[in-house]
Each structure stands twice: as C-alpha cells, then as structure tokens.
C-alpha cells in the first residue's frame, strides 16, 4: 500500500485538453524472417503515464507550488499523491500518482500561470473494469435498457 498525499480539492484538476495517456506494452514481439510474428505475454503489471497541464490563478499557483515543495506534502515531488484524472469514456477516476520529474512553470500571462509535468501511476484504476464484459457485450442502446430492467422491471414490491 502506497502512502499517498491528497491533491488539494479546491485546486483545479489537470486540464483535459492538454493531457494524453500512454500505457506500457505487456508483451514482447518477435518477427522472424519466415513465418508469422510471435507475441509473448510478459506481465499484467503495466504503468500508465500522463502529460498534464495546470492553468492556475495567482492564489492557486501559490498553493500549488507550496504543495509541490513543502515537506509535509509532496516534499519536492518525492511523494506519491492521489488526484482525479479524466481517463476518457469512464470519466474522472482517482489515481495514485507520482511526478516523473519536477513539473515546470511554463508561462505567466497576467493572472494565469501554467505548469506542465508528467505523472505516472503503477496501476490504472478504472471503476468500469468489473463491468467490462457487460460494457463490451451490450453496446449503447442496451445500456439504457439494462438500467430500466434492473431498476424498474425486476424489483417488485411484495404483494404485487
């Protein structure tokens, strides 16, 4: 279990538009001169990284910079932290993250201050994982039908 610091909930999250997610490849590929390529599974322990950008006002940037540096918080980015990240179709999901390097203050334009950095998580957390087969097998109009069936059709009060 990683002892992680919470991201301050009053600060804005990393900007969605400037964020990309990349994951490790859990297999090895060999392409022999003759025959089909060979794929060998190596691991399920795959890290995920994001390039993230924060756009902060001066008050937020002051707190953000202290959160990065202060020994009771990230201690110059030496500690893990918890923050919600939009992972795409599943929306905001809390991840346990660590900065790969110290983030960079990339611009100061009037009251807007921009920081960029790269974060890594050991294991991507996605609440959808336990429902993966349902999400795959029942494409979009069926999802709303399942909601109706489970919440309205199946439950019957006693005596009816």
- Res 86: pLDDT: 87
* pTM exceeding 0.85: no
What does the pLDDT look like over 86-110, one tens digit per residue? 888 888 999 999 999 999 999 999 9
Work out the angle at residue 150's Cα, subtended by the Cα atoms of residues 145 and 151, and round it to the nearest 5 degrees: 100
Q: Which residue has the higher pLDDT, 1 or 11?
A: 11
Q: Where are the beta strands (DSSP E) in the chain?
A: 5-6, 20-23, 27-30, 38-41, 48-56, 81-86, 92-99, 104-109, 112-121
Structure tokens at 68: 């990065």
At 133, is the pLDDT very low, low, confident or very high (cuts 50, 70, 90)? confident
Given a cut of 80, whether residue 134 has pLDDT beyond it is: no
What does the pLDDT look like over 41-79, one tens digit per residue? 888 778 899 999 999 999 999 999 999 999 999 999 999
**Cα–Cα distances in angstroms (integers) from residue 152 to residues 143, 144, 145, 160, in the given order:** 14, 12, 10, 14
């Amino acid at each position: 279990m990683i002892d992680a610091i919470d991201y301050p909930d009053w600060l804005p999250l990393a900007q969605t538009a400037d964020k990309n997610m990349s994951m490790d490849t859990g297999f090895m590929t060999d392409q022999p001169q003759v025959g089909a390529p060979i794929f060998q599974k190596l691991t399920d322990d795959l890290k995920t990284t994001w390039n993230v950008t924060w756009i902060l006002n001066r008050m937020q940037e002051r707190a953000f910079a202290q959160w990065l540096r202060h020994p009771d918080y990230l201690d110059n980015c030496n500690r893990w932290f918890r923050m919600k990240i939009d992972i795409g179709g599943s929306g905001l999901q809390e991840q346990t993250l660590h900065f790969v390097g110290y983030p960079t203050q990339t611009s100061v334009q009037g009251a807007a201050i921009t920081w960029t950095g790269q974060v890594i998580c050991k294991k991507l957390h996605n609440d959808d994982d336990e429902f993966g087969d349902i999400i795959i097998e029942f494409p979009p109009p069926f999802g709303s039908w399942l909601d109706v069936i489970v919440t309205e059709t199946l439950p019957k009060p006693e005596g009816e």
